[in-house]
Amino acid sequence: MSTDTVEMVKMNGLQAINAALMEAMEADSKVLVLGEDIADNEGGGVVGVTKGLSTKFGTDRVKSTPISEQAIIGAAIGAAMAGYKPVAEIMLMNFTTVAMDMIVNHAAKLRFMSGGQSQVPMVIRTLTGAGNQTAGQHADFYEAWFAHTAGIKVVIPWTPADFKGLYLSAIQDPDPVMIIESGKTLFVPMDTPVNQGPIPLGKANVVMPGTDLTLVSYGQMMFTVMQAVEELGKAGVSVEVIDLRTISPWDKETVLASAEKTGRLLVVHEAGKNFGPGAEIAATVQEELFGKLKAPVGRLGAPYCSVPFAKKLEDAFLVQPPAIIAEAKRLAAMG
């Protein structure tokens, strides 16, 4: 068995990203890293993702910045257009709001608006996710905003192996890529191939085969989904689980093939349900598979409110396993 030959190691997402950045910087002198507090002098990043990089590669290539998100993204854009491959950290996803002009009007659009003369091969790293009582300005999932913007790719990994592989691909991608790191995914250790290589962007991962229902999710919500799926298995519902990994451009082929096979689809994400990625996926699936589905496409996401502070409210805000189980059973009973 070839899988037996893959040497595995327990590693968390944080270590996997660090390993990817180390490897990418070692292999390619054009790779740069910048952001608030990211150099070792400032602690190697707010949760330590970039620890060791400035010591190894120097503070010319690994630069801590002022708290200036527009200046961070602007500097990354210019350096990228001049032939470098910057990895710019926006500490938390809510802080992308103060750099929206640079990200949306410039990074994403300059290739198109210049008729292909400008290339902006940069990565924007950003951390988010509810569950730590950080409330409404430190925890939002805004992937739909960026997925709605033509010209920037949006990636939300779950496993450490995917972090490593998707980072390696994103850094070498000729276009801007935003990678969203969701809190829990950085800290839960998982078996990871020691020599994990690049994983292509835009490809979903069928985590578990099943026959009754296709369940699509991504990021830290995958932990919740896997808990629910275990319970569903005990209850006799066979779920095919797809980790979308890349939100834009998303892997329609894999999702459509699975939904056609099972006849039922449930999309679960932490982002708000209203106008969330689930809406786009559901709309596409009904356009392509109308008449072949046994049940309407189900969607679970956050309610239409800001991320709350109180633990009780935060727990109610987040999609929990019982909600997934109930919705999956409801859909599985149809058709």
Q: What positions carry a catalytic annotation? A: 138
CA–CA dist 28, 16 (Å, integer): 18
**Residue from 78, 189, 193, 321 binding another protein (CB under 8 A):** 78
- From the CB of 107, what's the least distance to another protein, in Å? 9
The C-alpha angle with vertex 103 and arms to 80 and 140, in degrees rounded to 5, equals 130
CB of 76 to another protein, least distance (A): 6
CB of 45 to another protein, least distance (A): 19
Question: Binding to another protein by residue 77, rule CB under 8 A?
Answer: yes
Binding of another protein by 124 (CB under 8 A): no
**Binding residues with another protein: total (CB under 8 A):** 43
CB-side exposure of 155: number of CA atoms within 13 Å? 29
Stretch in the footprint of another protein (CB under 8 A) among 12-20, 49-57, 145-153, 273-281: 145-153
Residue of the chain from 8, 150, 305, 333 that contacts another protein (CB under 8 A): 150
246 binds another protein (CB under 8 A): no
39, 81, 147, 332: which one binds another protein (CB under 8 A)? 81
**Of 113, 194, 316, 334, which lies in the binding site for another protein, with binding defined by CB under 8 A?**
113
Instruction: Tell me the window of 134-142, 149-157, 211-219, 288-296 that interacts with another protein (CB under 8 A).
Output: 149-157
Instruction: Please tell me whether residue 106 binds another protein under the rule CB under 8 A.
Output: yes
Extract the tokens encoding 179: 């990678």
Among 12, 53, 61, 134, binds another protein (CB under 8 A): 61
Q: Minimum Å distance from CB 258 to another protein?
A: 21
**Amino acid identity, residue 243?**
D
Among 4, 116, 287, 290, binds another protein (CB under 8 A): 116
* Contacting residues toward another protein, per CB under 8 A: 32, 60-61, 63, 65-66, 68-71, 73-84, 86, 98, 101-102, 105-106, 110-119, 150-151, 153, 174-175
